[in-house]
Amino acid sequence: MITTYIVNSLLVAITVLIHFEAVNQLTIFIPKLPIKHRLRVLAGVFGALFAHVVEIWIFAFGYYFLVHQGDFGSLVGNFDKSVMDCVYFSFVNYTSLGFGDIVAKGNIRFLAGIEALTGLVLISWTASFMFIEMQKQWKEK
């Protein structure tokens, strides 16, 4: 159980740090773009989406590692232990969609839960960031 806690904590820490750095770099990068101010908002949206996809892949590799270790539980249902199925499961969890066609069993359930919470927080952070950037960019003429 302690190993599960350590792996979960590392994955959350890595994704939060990636998101922090992505938002920080976008804050610096967006105002410097030599394009119309409203197009800068689109650059922010695409940058944020890219950051979320990277974060989802980080969790997916975590699932892949844990499933193939065998001691942490498994993912069952429409799951063939491939990286792409881990990515799909990660997308579903991160966005809190919860389709249910793949289900976590054993200690890996804790990672699924913490990923959903992390996704909620990071998506909210992105929404706040984009709101602030839109206010800045819309004011420019």
Tens digits of per-residue pLDDT, 33-74? 999 888 888 999 999 999 999 999 999 999 999 999 988 999
- Using CA atoms, how far residue 36 sits from 41, 42, 47, 57, in Å, is 9, 10, 17, 32
Model-level pTM? Answer: 0.93
- Chain centre distance of CA 65: 17
Amino acid present at 38: R
Pick the CATH number of 2-139 from 1.10.3720.10, 1.10.287.70, 3.40.50.300, 3.40.50.2020: 1.10.287.70
Could you tell me which residues come within 8 angstroms of residue 141 by beta carbon, excluding any fewer than 6 positions away?
37
- Chain centre distance of CA 102: 18
What confidence score (pLDDT) does residue 36 get?
87
What confidence score (pLDDT) does residue 138 get?
74
Tokens coding 43: 């650059």
Q: Where are the alpha helices (DSSP H) in the chain?
A: 2-29, 37-69, 83-94, 108-139
What confidence score (pLDDT) does residue 140 get?
56
Long-range own/partner contacts, residues 66-74 (CB < 8 A, 24 or more apart):
66/7, 66/108, 66/111, 67/108, 71/3, 72/3, 72/4, 72/7, 72/106, 72/107, 72/108, 73/104, 73/105, 73/106, 73/107, 73/108, 73/109, 74/104, 74/105, 74/106, 74/108
Tokens coding 123: 């998506």
Q: Which residues of the chain have pLDDT under 50?
A: none
